[in-house]
């Protein structure tokens, strides 16, 4: 696993641990105990990106798109409300900017890359 991916996944876990929602905190701790770090981290990335991007329940976040599938998803064209096209395009922008596909808040991370402090 790449260092930037592990760091992004760690931030996702911490975001769930720091959540104002007790259910989020319980879920991540339970996943860490029963499913292990990787399962908990994947779920945390899904959760964080869904929340940050305000996705519909049927839409996948960039973390769920396999980078090897970006070109074929984009080549199929916009899939409307399904969301794979937009997720693939966003993931492509993220990877081109050197951002992990597991980044908890992809849009904010892209804005930081464009306008470093």
Which pTM value belongs to this model? 0.91
Take residue 4 and report the two structure tokens written for it.
């930037």
- The confidence score (pLDDT) of residue 116 equals 63
Contacts 24+ apart (CB under 8 A), 5-8: 5/100, 5/101, 5/102, 7/100, 8/45, 8/100, 8/101, 8/102, 8/103, 8/104
Domain tally, the chain: 1
N- to C-terminal Cα separation, the chain: 28
Encode pLDDT of 18-75 as tens digits. 999 999 999 999 999 999 999 999 999 999 999 999 999 999 999 999 999 999 999 9
Average pLDDT, the chain: 95
Domain holding 15, by residue range, is: 3-114
């Amino acid at each position: 696993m790449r260092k930037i991916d592990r760091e992004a996944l760690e931030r996702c876990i911490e975001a769930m641990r720091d959540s104002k929602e007790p259910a989020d905190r319980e879920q991540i701790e339970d996943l860490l105990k029963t499913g292990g770090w990787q399962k908990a981290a994947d779920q945390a990335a899904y959760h964080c990106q869904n929340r940050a991007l305000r996705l519909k329940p049927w839409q996948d976040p960039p973390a769920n798109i396999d980078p090897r599938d970006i070109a074929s998803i984009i080549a199929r064209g916009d899939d409307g409300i399904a969301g794979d096209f937009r997720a693939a395009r966003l993931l492509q922008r993220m990877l081109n900017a050197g951002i992990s596909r597991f980044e908890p808040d992809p849009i904010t991370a892209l804005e930081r890359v464009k306008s470093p402090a």
